[in-house]
Amino acid sequence: MSDFTGNFWSVYVAGLTLVSILACLLLLWVTARKKVAASADNTTGHVWDEDLTEMNNPLPRWWVWLFVITIVFSLLYLVAYPGLGTYQGRLAWSSTGSYDKEMDKARQQLEPLYAQFAARKTEELAGDPAAMGIGERLFMNNCAQCHGSDARGSKGFPNLTDADWLHGGTPDKIAETLKQGRIGNMPAMAAAVGSADDVKNVAHYVLSLSSAPHDSVRAQLGKPKFTACAACHGLDGKGNPALGAPNLTDDVWLHGWGEQAIVSIITNGKVNQMPAQAGKLTDAQIHVLSAYVWGRSNKPPSAKP
């Protein structure tokens, strides 16, 4: 109901709910008083399948009272719980509140488990099999949907097992990324670069930066136009971790490789978002998860016995 800005729909839903319940009670009362003319043998005259005859007996008392009890229960339920428009109920219950309570309880129960890792360095945890087992479970539950169960990512989702980091791969940077999330935004640059032919030339220049197959003539023509991109990627094309601007001189292509893919990105831009995990995971869980992610692309020191 929070999607509506006025009270009309709240009143409409509440009124419709109450009318429906009262209609059930009225239906019970009417049918209990209605008398159906019966034959001498106490049947209604309706016969199915040649031998199934409908009797004209009144409703059983237990059935009637059970029906009444359900109606009373529904009214009491609507007093205690939300169900009448925006009315929250006397118990102020909500699915969100119930979920939060369960998560708080789970965090309290797991707190002693993570406490043993809190004071240890990320690099040290990365060499601890017990910590990495927990980190792997955290990764599977919260990160694998995008980065894959093997952490190698896919098109549009970074590979976490190589040494290529958009925002830096230090333990602190990884923890910062997990807590705050990231939004990568490359604006459409076609207008700044020039004509459609200029965009193709820049695409070939970008390919040349990583020694990928390219048209050398187009690459030379695109080099002067690349200055429109240098504000983020640098004049040398090596990127800027402070901005999350990719290094264009390696052979890592997050959104696809080749002239067509690069032209598309220059023309249309690209927006990527990684959601923040701070509200979902505790600091201790993020610490262990950071160690797991760091360990996927680095060789951790051997764990002390």
Domain boundary pick from 52, 80, 108: 80
Q: What is d(CA 9, CA 5) in angstroms, rounded to the nearest whole number?
A: 9
Q: Cα(181)–Cα(21) distance, rounded to whole angstroms?
A: 48
Asked whether residue 262 falls in the same domain as residue 292, the answer is no
**CATH number of the domain where residue 260 is located:** 1.10.760.10
Q: Which of 29, 53, 80 is the last residue of a domain?
A: 80
User: How many angstroms separate the CA atoms of 194 and 228, rounded?
Assistant: 10
123 and 261 assigned to the same domain: no
Whether residue 92 lies inside any domain: the answer is no
Are both 42 and 59 inside the same structural domain?
yes
Residue 299, Ramachandran bin (φ over 0: left; ψ between -120 and 50: alpha; else beta): beta
Residue 224 lies in a domain: yes
Residue 303 lies in a domain: no
Regarding whether 107 and 228 lie in a shared domain, the answer is no
For residue 214, the model assigns a pLDDT of 95
Both 263 and 160 in one domain: the answer is no
CB 270 within 8 A of CB 259: no
- Domain assignment present for 93: no
Q: Which domain holds residue 221?
A: 185-274
Residue 221 CA from chain centroid, whole number: 44
Judgement on whether residues 144 and 285 belong to the same structural domain of the protein:
yes
**Residue 55 pairs with which residues in a beta bridge?**
43
Measured between alpha carbons, how far is 101 from 111 in angstroms, rounded to an integer?
15
Tokens in use for 194? Answer: 């020039």
Q: Among candidates 105, 116, 114, which has minimal Cα distance to 137?
A: 114
What whole-number distance in Å separates Cα of residue 273 and Cα of residue 244?
12
Are the C-beta atoms of residues 260 and 101 closer than 8 Å to each other?
Answer: no
Q: Is the domain of 292 the same as that of 268?
A: no
d(CA 77, CA 90): 10
The closest alpha carbon to 201, from 219, 226, 227, 216, belongs to 219
Buried b (16+ CB within 10 A) or exposed e, 82-115: bebbeeeeeeeeeeeeeeeeeeeeeeeeeeeebe
Strand segments (E) across 178-232: 182-186
- Does the residue 37 lie in any domain? yes
- Compute and round to an integer the Cα radius of gyration of the chain: 33
Give yes or no: residues 156 and 292 share one domain: yes
Whether 90 is covered by a domain: the verdict is no
Residue that terminates a domain, selected from 33, 53, 80: 80
What is d(CA 184, CA 196) in angstroms, rounded to the nearest whole number?
24
Same domain? For 197 and 227 the reply is yes
Name, in order, each residue with C-beta under 8 angstroms of 106's C-beta and a sequence gap of 6 or more: none
Are 162 and 213 in the same domain? Answer: no
Q: Residues 132, 55: one domain?
A: no
Burial class (CB within 10 angstroms; exposed 0-12, middle 13-18, buried 19+) of 255: middle
In the numeric block, the tokens 């019966």 are attached to 38
In a domain, 259, yes or no: yes
Count of positions (residues) in the chain: 305
Closest CA relative to residue 158, chosen from 147, 173, 172: 147
* Residue 54: inside a domain: yes
Tokens standing for 3? 């999607």
What's the structural domain count of the chain? 3
Same domain, 161 and 103: yes
Q: What is the pLDDT along the chain (305 residues), one digit of tens a residue?
A: 555 567 888 889 899 999 999 999 998 888 877 766 656 777 777 888 888 888 877 778 898 899 999 999 999 999 999 988 888 899 989 999 998 899 889 888 888 999 999 899 999 999 999 999 999 999 999 999 999 999 999 999 999 999 899 999 999 999 999 999 999 999 999 999 999 999 999 999 999 999 999 999 999 999 999 999 999 999 999 999 999 999 999 989 999 989 999 999 999 999 999 999 998 899 999 999 999 999 999 987 665 54
